[in-house]
């Protein structure tokens, strides 16, 4: 039987630990906040991130990274993307030799423009064959009620992907393997940026044509970036591409979409940040994605205006005019 350590007692870390445990993989959750760790051990519930969801008895929680890692075959990472490097440097000495590192995170690192699996390989000094990614349309509030969902388990090593698939596959959580780690990670990270744009448009009162256009042209941006970074284009038609884009851009449960919607309604950035209690990865990742695009000379106009609105004082109205007044182009340029 495999064992897992899950780092992060937020929404997705707690829920994925529940998935692993129900699939027969006992999990130890690491959390930095003792009150949440104690509540999980004493009440079988995470009161802040997953209130009302009873956690399986095979989940334990701890604030000690060494205790969490003890005997783990899978080390699952579910902290905000921009905190991964610093945290992993602290956790690294405790990683069991041979353990597979699994990223649940959907972001690109500021400053380095690295995907999360690249950060993991670099900091933990493990080969990419030992690093996997789980991504797809996985809105936590639905999963917490055990509503059916599906995800992609990506790893360059197919045997590792299948092992992880076995460890987290459930009647209500269906997983597919895919060797295209680059495409799976780009799909998950950039859809958050597009969801911000869709949210802004919704907040402005714009309708379904605009939403469909932003989602479709957003997918074109993901595909163009993926083309230069070596992703398999088919991945973007799958769960980690279109699937996650649809879920995130259309659901009121999405933190990224809601963040954008609040901006589109006219709230200030400070007000929106104060109203956002959980991680909305697109807010920081839009900047690293834009930097990555510029490095590789890839046009990402939606990402550009998202950075403008979120970070540079551009109004939603100015963003709309900029996008609509671009030079006419063939639909499939850059792919």
Ligand X SMILES: NC(=O)c1ccc[n+]([C@@H]2O[C@H](COP(=O)([O-])OP(=O)(O)OC[C@H]3O[C@@H](n4cnc5c(N)ncnc54)[C@H](O)[C@@H]3O)[C@@H](O)[C@H]2O)c1
Which positions are annotated as active-site residues? 191
195 binds, among ligand X, ligand G3P, none (CB under 5 to 8 A by kind): ligand G3P
- Whole-number Å distance between alpha carbons of 251 and 153: 23
Among 10-18, 160-168, 290-298, 301-309, the segment contacting ligand X (CB under 6 A): 10-18
Taking CB under 6 A as the rule, does residue 279 contact ligand X? yes
Q: Which of residues 79-98 bind ligand X (CB under 6 A)?
A: 79-81, 83, 87
Kindly report the length of the chain.
335
Whether 29 and 59 have beta carbons less than 8 Å apart is answered as yes
Closest distance to ligand G3P from the beta carbon of 276 (Å):
10
Q: How far is CA 104 from CA 15, 189, 315, 320, in A?
A: 11, 11, 33, 32
Burial 247-266 (b: 16+ CB within 10 A, else e): bbbbeeebbbbbbbbbbbbe
Closest distance to ligand G3P from the beta carbon of 142 (Å):
9
Judged by CB under 6 A, the residue of 247, 263, 300, 323 near ligand G3P is 247
Considering the complex, state which of residue 178 and residue 248 has its C-beta at the smaller distance from ligand G3P.
248
Taking CB under 6 A as the rule, does residue 284 contact ligand X? no
Give the list of residues 6+ apart from residue 147 with CB closer than 8 angstroms, or none.
172
Q: Which of residues 207-246 bind ligand G3P (CB under 6 A)?
A: 244
Taking CB under 6 A as the rule, does residue 241 contact ligand X? no
Considering the complex, state which of residue 152 and residue 202 has its C-beta at the smaller distance from ligand X.
152
Judged by CB under 6 A, the residue of 21, 100, 140, 319 near ligand X is 140
Taking CB under 6 A as the rule, does residue 248 contact ligand G3P? yes
149 binds, among ligand X, ligand G3P, none (CB under 5 to 8 A by kind): none
Considering the complex, state which of residue 114 and residue 255 has its C-beta at the smaller distance from ligand G3P.
255
Sheet holding 74-77, edge to edge: 59-62, 27-30, 4-7, 74-77, 100-103, 131-135, 149-155, 173-178
Is 33 annotated to bind ligand?
yes
Judged by CB under 6 A, the residue of 4, 13, 25, 65 near ligand X is 13
Q: Which residues are known binding-site members for NADPH?
A: 11-12, 32-33, 49, 106, 255, 281
Q: Which residues are known binding-site members for sn-glycerol 3-phosphate?
A: 106, 136, 191, 244, 254-256
Q: Which residues bind ligand X (CB under 6 A)?
A: 8-13, 31-33, 49, 78-81, 83, 87, 104-107, 138-140, 278-279, 281
């Amino acid at each position: 039987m495999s064992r897992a350590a899950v780092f992060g007692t937020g929404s997705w870390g707690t829920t994925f630990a529940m998935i692993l445990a129900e699939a027969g993989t006992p999990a130890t959750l690491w959390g930095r906040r003792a009150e949440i760790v104690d509540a999980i051990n004493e009440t079988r519930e995470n009161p802040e991130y997953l209130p009302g969801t009873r956690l399986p008895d095979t989940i334990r929680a701890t604030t000690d990274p060494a205790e969490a890692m003890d005997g783990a075959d899978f080390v699952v990472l579910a902290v905000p993307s921009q905190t991964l490097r610093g945290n992993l440097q602290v956790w690294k000495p405790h990683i069991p030799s041979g353990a597979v590192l699994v990223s649940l995170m959907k972001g690109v690192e500021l400053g380095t423009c690295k995907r999360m699996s690249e950060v993991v390989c670099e900091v933990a000094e493990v080969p990419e064959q030992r690093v996997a990614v789980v991504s797809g349309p996985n809105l936590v509030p639905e999963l917490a009620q055990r509503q059916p969902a599906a995800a992609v388990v990506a790893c360059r090593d197919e045997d590792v992907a299948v092992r992880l698939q076995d460890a987290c596959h459930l009647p209500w959580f269906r997983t597919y393997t895919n060797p295209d780690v680059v495409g799976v990670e780009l799909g998950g990270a950039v859809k958050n940026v597009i969801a911000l744009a869709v949210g802004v448009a919704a907040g402005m009162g714009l309708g379904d044509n605009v939403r469909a256009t932003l989602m479709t042209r957003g997918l074109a941006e993901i595909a163009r970036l993926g083309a230069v970074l070596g992703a398999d284009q088919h991945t973007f038609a799958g769960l980690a591409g279109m699937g996650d884009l649809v879920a995130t851009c259309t659901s009121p449960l999405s933190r990224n979409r809601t963040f954008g919607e609040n901006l589109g309604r006219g709230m200030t950035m400070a007000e929106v940040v104060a109203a956002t209690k959980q991680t909305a990865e697109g807010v920081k990742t839009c900047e690293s994605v834009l930097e990555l695009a510029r490095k590789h000379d890839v046009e990402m106009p939606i990402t550009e205006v998202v950075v403008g609105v979120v970070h540079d004082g551009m109004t939603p109205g100015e963003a709309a005019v900029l996008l609509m007044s671009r030079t006419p182009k063939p639909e499939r340029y850059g792919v």
